[in-house]
């Protein structure tokens, strides 16, 4: 397992069947990344065709590299290998963490663990570099998702890997999540539903940095 520094805003791309609009929205979000406060960009677009997924993954890998942001592919080891992404993120139902670790030596491997510390321990044992818990709050992206209490982040510090919080996080509640022990906050709707995506990305990154610097 590699030592990973994951700290800040973890942006997950939105579901969008319009390829041009999709790339434009993500490009807008990345405009603020040079100001700091970003952890990673995860490519996830459930409405894309296989051909679109390959093209978009290539485009986002190049874009993320230009901005100096790690690019993570959601649930697709093959795609991560094809576009030479920095890593892959697997859900609990996707399986194959140990196999993904074998196929992606030296690259980032993340795992969704929902509300389970036991699942997180197993993921780390299988080679995960970071784990994600959530939904922390009610999520528009996954309204039926299991809820993860903030206390879980305190308990999970002993895992020794970065902790990512996901689910319903926005400017109004991000500070509480960071103070609870999350190293990174993952956002989709809170960013891409904003009328000004670039401004919202700046605000979210600044809120994270402010919250961390204010922690005693």
Give 106-162 pLDDT, tens digit per residue: 999 999 999 999 999 999 999 999 999 999 998 877 777 889 999 999 999 999 999
Q: How confident is the model at residue 62 (pLDDT cuts 50, 70, 90)?
A: very high
Cα 11 vs. chain centroid, distance in angstroms?
5
Mean pLDDT of 180-190: 96
Mean pLDDT of 38-47: 97
Angle between helices 197-213 and 19-30 (to 10 degrees): 40
Beta pairing, strands 8-12 & 184-187: parallel
Looking at residue 143, its pLDDT comes to 78
Cross-strand partners of 71: 41
Q: Which residue has the higher pLDDT, 145 or 9?
A: 9
Q: Among all chains, which residue has been given the structure tokens 């992206």? A: 141
Q: How confident is the model at residue 4 (pLDDT cuts 50, 70, 90)?
A: confident
Identify the CATH homologous superfamily for domain 8-199. Aldolase class I (3.20.20.70)
Cα 6 vs. chain centroid, distance in angstroms?
10
Give the H/E segment covering residue 38: strand 38-43
Q: How confident is the model at residue 2 (pLDDT cuts 50, 70, 90)?
A: low
Q: Enumerate the active-site residues.
A: 44, 112, 142
Q: Which residues, in sequence order, are CB contacts of 99 under 8 Å at separation 6+?
A: 77
How far is 165 from 14, CA to CA, in rounded Å? 17
Cβ contact 101:90 at 8 Å:
no
**Token output for 105:** 């030596």
Q: Which residue has the higher pLDDT, 210 or 205?
A: 205
């Amino acid at each position: 397992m590699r030592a990973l520094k994951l700290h800040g805003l973890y942006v997950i791309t939105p579901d969008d069947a319009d390829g041009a609009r999709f790339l434009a929205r993500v490009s807008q979000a990345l405009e603020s990344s040079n100001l700091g406060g970003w952890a990673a960009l995860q490519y996830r677009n459930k409405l894309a065709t296989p051909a679109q997924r390959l093209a978009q993954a290539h485009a986002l890998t190049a874009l993320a590299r230009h901005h100096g942001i790690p690019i993570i592919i959601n649930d697709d080891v093959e795609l991560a290998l094809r576009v030479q992404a920095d890593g892959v993120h697997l859900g609990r139902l996707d399986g194959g963490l140990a196999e993904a670790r074998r196929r992606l030596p030296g690259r980032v491997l993340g795992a969704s663990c929902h509300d389970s510390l036991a699942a997180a321990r197993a993921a780390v044992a299988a080679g995960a570099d970071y784990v994600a818990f959530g939904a922390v709050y009610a999520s528009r992206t996954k309204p039926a998702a299991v809820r993860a209490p903030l206390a879980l982040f305190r308990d999970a510090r002993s895992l020794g890997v970065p902790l990512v919080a996901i689910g319903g996080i926005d400017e109004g509640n991000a500070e509480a999540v960071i103070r609870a022990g999350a190293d990174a906050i993952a956002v989709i709707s809170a960013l891409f539903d904003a009328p000004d995506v670039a401004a919202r990305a700046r605000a979210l990154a600044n809120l994270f940095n402010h919250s961390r610097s204010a922690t005693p």
